[in-house]
């Protein structure tokens, strides 16, 4: 199959899936990074190598120092905002930035020095990571190499390497090729991904794999893949900001093109993949958010340190949502002794979330969002859950089923990138007139749900939030149910008979 046909069949659908965030590193698919773009304005002085760091050659930082003489270009865009008092190093850096012209481009000489220094360091010091090993073992521009790198780069979006390694190894063991992945179901993929976060990535990986298999293959031609393009993620932003002493807000959209321009001037045309990985590696290790062993200021400002850059900006406040969560157990026959020992036969009810939106298509316990914290008292929460069970399963706790245990388990706050979800968890154990068959007949047709036993839920790929709720419930039952008096349990159980 020719590359042109591959592009015609895959390009629009494949690239759209990832919202045009692929950056091809090299003809051998050494790496692909879905670009997390930060935005930076370009005032400030240059940085030089830190003499205390033997790991990186001084010529790396010389890329910035060599350009200090080229600052005649007038400032573009809006002037820097006046620094607010009390902001410490950030305010000083902003004040310094407002008094100097924009940073010029990297000169060809400076770029050559940076490439040679960084690649030399990377070849000697790069971390041994499973996707790098897999890519090198696959060799060439083959499909297996492309797939190994693709999976790792999608997993690494906004997720630390230490977290990804275990998930990557398990993923590749189960789906070693793109064709194995294409044959998987969305539910299987979600379960494997559970706990890694940003679950849309898992759906995009599966959709991309199916598209590739439908087209026939990954592109194989070196000409089709050889694109000397930069990569800009948080690590690259950090290194370039420090290299050029860029102190403006790194999230201002008006300056994103400048950061990409500078990164593009540095990328090595003969080893673009290795260079892009090396620049990210530097930002993740020697020059991370808290310290920088590779660079130091060439100009002496008493109140400014290398770690002043990039400018730290105040994050938007997370939205607070509040939910009533019901761990619903359905039992057939129950003896008080079995309840106290938690050894009785039972099933748990799980509900599938909508296919769009937060945690799309994943399983959770029945839950209802309430209007605000003022609506989280027990009576209001239980009223909301009762209504949900009635509308979704036609369960009337006073008519067609009997409540054996209903207790508040506790509160858990699950943090998403933009939301703090306050979950108020309760345990509800019921028996049904007609048993589980009655539940099957009562459930609303449009609702996707299932029942699972303890053994099944222990090995399910639940999200970290749902797993936390389940573990809270188990701990509660172990501590609290054993303390309930025999007479109270017997009274509840006899009432249902």
Query: Buried b vs exposed e over 444-456: b needs ≥16 C-beta within 10 Å?
Result: eeeeebebeeeee
Strands of 14-73, DSSP E: 47-49
| Contact between 184 and 163 (Cβ < 8 Å) | no
CA angle 358, 422, 388 (to 5 degrees): 70
Give residue for tokens 């190499």. 145
| CA atoms of 156 and 133, how far apart (whole Å) | 16
Cα 149 to chain centroid, rounded: 17
Tally the residues of the chain: 497
From the list 473, 495, 461, the residue with the least C-alpha distance to 366 is 473
From the list 45, 35, 61, 25, the residue with the least C-alpha distance to 234 is 35
Strands of 45-142, DSSP E: 47-49
Give residue for tokens 């009576």. 379
| Contact between 293 and 57 (Cβ < 8 Å) | no
- If you compute the radius of gyration of the chain from its CA atoms, what whole number of angstroms results? 28
| Contact between 342 and 475 (Cβ < 8 Å) | no
Query: Could you tell me the two tokens for 472?
Result: 């809270």
From the list 188, 218, 219, the residue with the least C-alpha distance to 206 is 188
The string of DSSP letters for 410-460 reads EEEEEE-SSEEEEEEEEEEEEEETTHHHHHHHHS-TT--EEEE-HHHHHHS
Which residues form the catalytic set? 153
Specify which residues 324 forms β-bridges with: 368, 424
What are the two backbone dihedrals, phi and then psi, of residue 422, each rounded to the nearest 5 degrees?
-90, 110
From the list 403, 398, 400, the residue with the least C-alpha distance to 442 is 400
Contacts of 183 (CB under 8 A, 6+ apart): none
């Amino acid at each position: 199959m020719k590359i042109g046909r591959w592009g015609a069949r895959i390009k629009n659908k494949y690239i759209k899936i990832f919202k045009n965030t692929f950056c091809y590193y090299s003809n051998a698919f050494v790496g692909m990074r879905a670009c997390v773009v930060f935005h930076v304005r370009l005032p400030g002085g240059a940085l030089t190598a830190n003499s205390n760091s033997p790991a990186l050659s001084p010529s790396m930082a010389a890329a910035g120092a060599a350009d200090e003489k080229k600052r005649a270009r007038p400032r573009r865009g809006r002037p820097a905002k006046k620094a607010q008092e009390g902001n410490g190093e950030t305010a000083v850096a902003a004040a310094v930035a407002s008094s100097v012209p924009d940073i010029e481009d990297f000169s060809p000489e400076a770029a050559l020095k940076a490439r040679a220094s960084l690649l030399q360091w990377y070849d000697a010091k790069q971390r041994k990571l499973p996707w790098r090993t897999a890519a090198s073992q696959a060799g060439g521009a083959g499909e297996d190499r492309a797939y190994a790198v693709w999976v790792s780069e999608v997993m690494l979006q906004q997720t630390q390497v230490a977290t990804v390694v275990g998930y990557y190894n398990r993923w590749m063991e189960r789906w070693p090729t793109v064709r194995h992945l294409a044959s998987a179901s969305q539910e299987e993929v979600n379960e494997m991904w559970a706990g890694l976060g940003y679950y849309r990535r898992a759906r995009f990986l599966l959709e991309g794999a199916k598209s590739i298999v439908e087209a026939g293959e990954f592109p194989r031609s070196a000409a089709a893949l050889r694109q000397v393009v930069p990569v800009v993620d948080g690590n690259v932003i950090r290194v370039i900001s420090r290299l050029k002493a860029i102190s403006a807000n790194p999230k201002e959209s008006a300056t994103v093109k400048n950061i990409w321009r500078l990164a593009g001037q540095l990328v090595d045309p003969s080893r673009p993949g290795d260079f892009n990985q090396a620049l990210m590696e530097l930002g993740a290790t020697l020059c991370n958010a808290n310290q920088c062993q590779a660079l130091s200021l060439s100009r002496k400002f008493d109140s400014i340190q290398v770690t002043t850059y990039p400018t730290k900006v105040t994050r938007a406040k997370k939205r607070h949502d509040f939910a009533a969560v019901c761990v619903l157990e359905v039992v057939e026959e129950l003896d008080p002794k079995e309840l106290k020992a938690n050894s009785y036969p039972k099933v748990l009810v799980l509900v599938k979330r909508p296919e769009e939106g937060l945690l799309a298509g994943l399983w959770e316990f029945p839950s209802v969002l309430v209007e605000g914290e003022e609506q989280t008292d027990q009576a209001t929460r239980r009223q909301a859950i009762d209504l949900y069970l009635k509308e979704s399963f036609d369960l009337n706790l006073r008519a067609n089923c009997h409540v054996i245990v209903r207790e508040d388990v506790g509160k858990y706050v699950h943090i998403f990138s933009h939301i703090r979800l306050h979950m108020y968890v309760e345990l509800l154990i019921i028996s049904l007139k007609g048993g589980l068959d009655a539940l099957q007949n009562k459930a609303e047709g449009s609702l996707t749900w299932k029942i699972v036993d303890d053994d099944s839920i222990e090995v399910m790929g639940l999200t970290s939030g749902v797993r936390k709720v389940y573990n809270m419930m188990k701990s509660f039952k172990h501590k609290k149910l054993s303390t309930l008096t025999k007479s109270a349990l017997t009274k509840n159980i006899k009432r249902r008979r």
